[in-house]
Amino acid sequence: MFDVIIAGCGPTGAMLAAELRLHNVRVLVLEQETEPVSFVRIVGLHIRSIELMAMRGLLERIAERARRRPAGGFFAAINKPVPEGLDSAHAYLLGIPQPVIVHLLEEHAIELGAQVRRGCAVAGFEQDDQGVTIELADGEKLRSRYLVGCDGARSSVRKLLGVGFPGEPSRTETLMGEMKVVAPPEEIAAKVAQISQTHRPFWLRPFGEGVYSVVVPAAGVTDRSEPPTLEDFKQQLHSIAGTDFGVHSPRWLSRFGDATRLAEHYRVQRVLLAGDAAHIHPPLGGQGLNLGVQDAFNLGWKLAAQIHGWAPETLLDTYQTERRPVAEDVLDNTRAQMQLSSPEPGPQAVRRLLTELMDFNEVNRLLIEKITAINIRYDFGAGPDLLGRRLRDIDVKHGHLYDLLHRGRGLLLDRTERLSVGGWSDRVDYLADPTAALDFPCVLLRPDGHVAWIGNDQQDLDDHLARWFGNPTN
Ligand SMILES: Cc1cc2nc3c(=O)[nH]c(=O)nc-3n(C[C@H](O)[C@H](O)[C@H](O)COP(=O)(O)OP(=O)(O)OC[C@H]3O[C@@H](n4cnc5c(N)ncnc54)[C@H](O)[C@@H]3O)c2cc1C
C-alpha cells in the first residue's frame, strides 16, 4: 500500500514525487516508457520555476547543465529587451534540454526516497472511500490512498476518470527536429531572417558540429499517428524557402499541434490531475513544463497534509481553485500569441501595434511577468497586494530566504521578534529577523512560498496558521 501513486515520470510527476517525499509520503511513480526519452527539446525554465528550484536547493545542479539567457523577448517572439523592474533575484531564463531537467528532478525524487518503476503503464483504476486500486497494462494490481495523473496530454488517468477536456482542436501543425545541413551558415542565417518576417514559426538554429534545430510549418497533416519524415521537412523547407538547405542525417524528428484544452476538474475524490494531463496549449512562450512543475509544487504539500491527517477540510480543493485559473490565463496568453504569429494582414497589423506598445516598459514587463509566472496572486481574501503572491528571494540574516525553504515547510518571518508558531512548530519554521528586507512586520509563508498572512497580532496569526496548517499539535 502506497500513500500516493503517480502515473507518469515527466517533469510534473518527478517534481510531485520529490515534494511528497519531503513530507515522508510513501510514493511510487509509474512510467510507461522503459528508458528515459532521448528527445532533445531545449526548454526554457522561467523565473518562477527557477525560484522553485532555488527554494528546494536544486538550482546549482540545474544551472550547471543549463544556459543562462535574458528574461525577455519571448512573448510571441517579439524581439524586445528585458523589461526593467522584474522583481526577482533570479530574473533570467535557463535553457536546458527537457531530458536533462526530467533526469535531475527524477534523481532528486529518488534521493529523497521515491520509488520509480519504468515499463509500467497505468491501464485502469477503481476508487473507493479508502483508496484507489490501480491496474497496470500487464494486469498487475496496486493499491494507494491517492492517484495523481501526471501522464501528459493524452492522459489515460483523465480519460478513465471521465473528466472533460474541452477546448480547441489542433488547427496548425509544426515540424520540429534536429539534423545536419549542407548550406553555409551565412546563407541559412540570411534566409531565416528574411522568411521569419512572414512565416512563423520558422527557424534553423545552429547547435554546433553542423547540426541545426529546424522548425517549419507542416503541410496539411492527414494522419497524426504517423511520425514525420525527413522528406516532409525537405518539402516544406523547399516550398517556403525555395531550398531545403541540404538537410540530412536527422537526430530526431517530431511534430506538434496547437490544440488548447483545459480539464474540467483537477480532482475527483482520490484522483487528481497535474501538468499536461490537466492542460495543453501551443508551446509559444515555453510555458507548459513550467506550469506543470508549478502545479506539482502547489499540490505536493497539500496532498501530504491530507495524508498525514492535518489538512484543513478545504485545503486539497484549493489545488484546483488556485491552479486552474492560472492555467486558464496561460491558455489565453498562448491563444493571443498564436494570433500574433499568424501571417494574415490583420494579426500582422496587431503585432506591429503591440511591438510599438512594448516600447513602454510597463507593457513589456506585464507580458514577461505573465509568461514567467511571477505575477500570480491567489485569492486569500482582503489584504495588502503582497497577500497571495509569492515572496521574492529576499536577504535575511545569514543568507537568503529561499535557503530556509529547502524542507518544504511553512515559514514565519518575524521582524518584530514577538510572535511564535506555537503548536504548529512541527509544520512551520520560525525566523526572527528585524533586519529582513521586508516592508511588513511579519509574513507567514506557505511551503510553496506564497504569502498566507501579513500582520503583527498573535491571535490573528494563530487563526491563519489554523487556516493553512490545521489544528495545533499541543
Ligand atoms: C515543441 C515544444 C516546445 C516546448 N517548449 C517548452 C518550453 O520551452 N518551456 C516549457 O515550459 N514547456 C515547453 N513545452 C511543453 C512541455 O514539453 C510540456 O508541457 C511538458 O513536457 C509537460 O510535462 P508533464 O510531466 O506534465 O507531461 P509529459 O512530459 O508528457 O510526461 C508524461 C509522462 O507520462 C508517461 N505516461 C503517459 N501515459 C502513461 C500511463 N498510462 N502510465 C504511466 N506513464 C504514462 C509518459 O511516458 C511521460 O513520461 C514544449 C512543448 C513542445 C511540443
What mean pLDDT do residues 430-434 have? 96
**Using CA positions, which residue lies closest to atom 33 of ligand 1?**
8
What is the structure's pLDDT at 381? Answer: 95
Pair 46, 327: CB distance under 8 Å: no
What is the structure's pLDDT at 50? Answer: 98
Q: What are phi and psi of 79, to 5 degrees?
A: -75, 95
DSSP-derived 3-state class of residue 458: helix
Determine the Cα–Cα distance for residues 78 and 378; give it in Å rounded to an integer.
29
Q: What are phi and psi of 257, to 5 degrees?
A: -110, -170
Write b or e for each residue in 249-269: b if 16 or more Cβ atoms lie within 10 A of its Cβ, otherwise e: ebeebebbbbebbbbebbbee
**Using CA positions, which residue lies closest to atom 26 of ligand 1?**
275
Q: pLDDT by residue (tens digit) across 110-120?
A: 999 999 999 99
DSSP string, 23-60: TT--EEEEES-SS------EEEE-HHHHHHHHHTT-HH
Q: pLDDT by residue (tens digit) across 403-431?
A: 999 999 999 999 999 999 999 999 999 99
What is the structure's pLDDT at 65? Answer: 95
Q: What letter represents residue 77's amino acid?
A: A
DSSP-derived 3-state class of residue 102: helix
Separation of CA 276 and ligand 1 centre (Å): 6
**Does residue 39 have a pLDDT over 70?**
no
Determine the Cα–Cα distance for residues 300 and 24; give it in Å rounded to an integer.
11
Higher local confidence (pLDDT), 196 or 142: 142
Q: Which cell numbers in the block locate residue 241?
A: 524557402
Separation of CA 10 and ligand 1 centre (Å): 6
Positive or negative, the CA dihedral 100, 105, 108, 113 is: negative
438-443 LR contacts (CB < 8 Å, sep 24+): 438/394, 438/413, 439/386, 440/384, 440/386, 440/415, 441/414, 441/415, 441/416, 442/412, 442/413, 442/414, 442/415, 442/416, 443/386, 443/391, 443/412, 443/413
Ligand 1, residues at Cβ distance < 6 Å: 7-13, 30-33, 41, 43-44, 98, 121-122, 150-152, 156, 176, 256, 275-276, 283, 286-290, 292
**Using CA positions, which residue lies closest to atom 6 of ligand 1?**
286
Q: pLDDT by residue (tens digit) across 258-295?
A: 999 999 999 999 999 999 999 999 988 899 999 999 99
Pair 433, 413: CB distance under 8 Å: yes
Pair 116, 109: CB distance under 8 Å: yes
**Using CA positions, which residue lies closest to atom 30 of ligand 1?**
152
Separation of CA 280 and ligand 1 centre (Å): 10
**Does residue 102 have a pLDDT over 70?**
yes
What mean pLDDT do residues 388-414 have? 96
Separation of CA 202 and ligand 1 centre (Å): 22
> Could you give the count of Cα atoms lying within 13 Å of 312 in the half-sphere of its Cβ?
15
Mean pLDDT across the chain: 95
* Atom in ligand 1 nearest the alpha carbon of residue 176: 1
What mean pLDDT do residues 451-462 have? 98
**Does residue 197 have a pLDDT over 80?**
no
Separation of CA 223 and ligand 1 centre (Å): 21
Separation of CA 195 and ligand 1 centre (Å): 30
What is the structure's pLDDT at 196? Answer: 79
**Using CA positions, which residue lies closest to atom 49 of ligand 1?**
10
Choose one of 67, 151, 266, 297 to mutate for the ligand 1 pocket test, by most ligand atoms within 8 angstroms of C-beta: 151
**Does residue 205 have a pLDDT over 90?**
no
* Atom in ligand 1 nearest the alpha carbon of residue 288: 19
Question: How distant, in Å, are the alpha carbons of 358, 391, 450 from that of 402?
Answer: 32, 9, 12
Separation of CA 211 and ligand 1 centre (Å): 24
**Does residue 472 have a pLDDT over 70?**
yes
Instruction: Evaluate the omega torsion of the peptide bond into residue 201 and state whether it is cis, within 30 degrees of 0.
Output: yes
Separation of CA 13 and ligand 1 centre (Å): 10
Positive or negative, the CA dihedral 49, 51, 53, 55 is: negative
Q: Which cell numbers in the block locate residue 454?
A: 501579513
What mean pLDDT do residues 146-168 have? 98
DSSP H helices in 212-360: 230-241, 288-308, 318-340, 345-357
0.85 exceeded by pTM: yes
Q: pLDDT by residue (tens digit) across 16-33?
A: 999 999 999 999 999 999
